Structure 1
Amino acid sequence: MADFPVEQILKGAKHAIENSEYLPTLHRMIECCQAGLIEFGLPAPHDAYIEACQAPSPKSAQHWSHPAVYLAGRDSDWFFLANNQERITWPVYREHYQRYCAAVLRGEELLIPAPEAIEKEAAEPLSKDEQMTELKKLREESGL
């Protein structure tokens, strides 16, 4: 149950109680919480973690199952996720993901920032005289 934000647990509990005659088991509560995330297009927390860890670079240009997956990965630090063991990175990622899930449940819209664009116009090459001047400066600076 620690994988889910408090809002999702409350929503899952309400759903479980309304749709069954008995109090829900732990397994039933987990199912209800996961079903609630799916309604918002959010993957289960560990599935989101795996998606974030396996995504190639550039991260912002990838197709994400939900913006919360990308944002939690970004906040966890991509380098940290890629270079440490799951037992270290999973709790960090889960905390960020829960925060974004809670924001989605509150009705906030999450957006992935657009990837940085490459310059449209290439710089004009230097003329032969300018190239020679720059080369001369480099030789003087380097002591050649």
Structure 2
Amino acid sequence: MSNSNHLLEQAQREIEALSKTSQTAAGQAEPAAKATDGHIDALNEVFALFRINYHNQYYKAYSDSTVLAQIKKLWLESLVRFEPETIRRGAREVIETSDYLPTLHRMIAACQGSLSKHGLKEPHAAYIEACHAPSPKAAHRWSHPAVYYAGKASDWYFLASSSERAAYPVFAQHYKRLCEQVINGIRLPQPNAPALPENIETPLSREENQRRLEALRSELDL
């Protein structure tokens, strides 16, 4: 029972920590994702897999059914940002790579997966790319569209005029949200580069300008 209470307290602390870092630049929390039947089914499957693979650890940690229900609720609140299949994939990765029953933090990391596998940079490297990209931003060859959209959501002027201490947390929040979408299978469109004019006029030479001016004077009898 004491071990179950410890796990519950640990899960609560992890979710509280996550909630503190989920504020928008304006200081208001983003709308929380709603759990679907698919999320609930996926989470139940995950705990069933844990029970099978970590048999003794599982029953020692979750011997109290009431505490187990509370822990599942806390996990659901944190994992709802991922698609159900992503949650299942995360559980399979945990089982294949660890001999120990995972914490919520370990499970979130497994669901997120390696950013490099999805062609994504680590947040700080993405921030540096966004800050150094020349204008027009949409025409820049980005390492991944997520970097561009995170910069756009953060406001390009804000990134350029603010210190890293102020700007990076805002950028990182938007970037991590976009990374989660990519990991969940959403394909971000390429930025729309500004279209070039159909006819590009070449400036007239000084001599041509002079000839045209003289022709105009002749027409006007000046």
SS at match of 1:57: coil
Which residue, 22, 29, 48 being the options, matches 2:100? 22
Q: Partner residue of 2:122? A: 44
Which residue, 139, 142, 145 being the options, matches 1:61? 139
Q: TM-score if structure 1 supplies the norm length?
A: 0.66
Alignment partners' CA distance in 2, 1:12 and 1:56: 38
Q: Partner residue of 1:83? A: 161
- Segments of structure 2 that go 5 or more residues without pairing to the other structure are 1-16, 22-78, 205-211, 217-222
Q: Partner residue of 2:174? A: 96
Q: How does 1:2-17 map to 2 (within 5 A)?
A: 7=82, 14=91, 15-17=93-95
Count of residue pairs the alignment pairs up: 131
Deviations 1:121-143 (A, max 9, x none): 257x9x866xxxxxxxxxxxxxx
Deviation at 1:23, TM superposition (A): 5.4
Cα RMSD for the two superposed structures = 3.7
Deviation at 1:65, TM superposition (A): 1.2
Q: Partner residue of 1:72? A: 150
- Give 1 or 2 for the bigger CA radius of gyration: 2
More RCO (CA 8 Å, sep 6+)? 1
Which residue, 169, 192, 196 being the options, matches 1:114? 192
Alignment partners' CA distance in 2, 1:78 and 1:37: 24
- Segments of structure 1 that go 5 or more residues without pairing to the other structure are 130-144
Alignment partners' CA distance in 2, 1:114 and 1:98: 22
Q: TM-score if structure 2 supplies the norm length?
A: 0.46
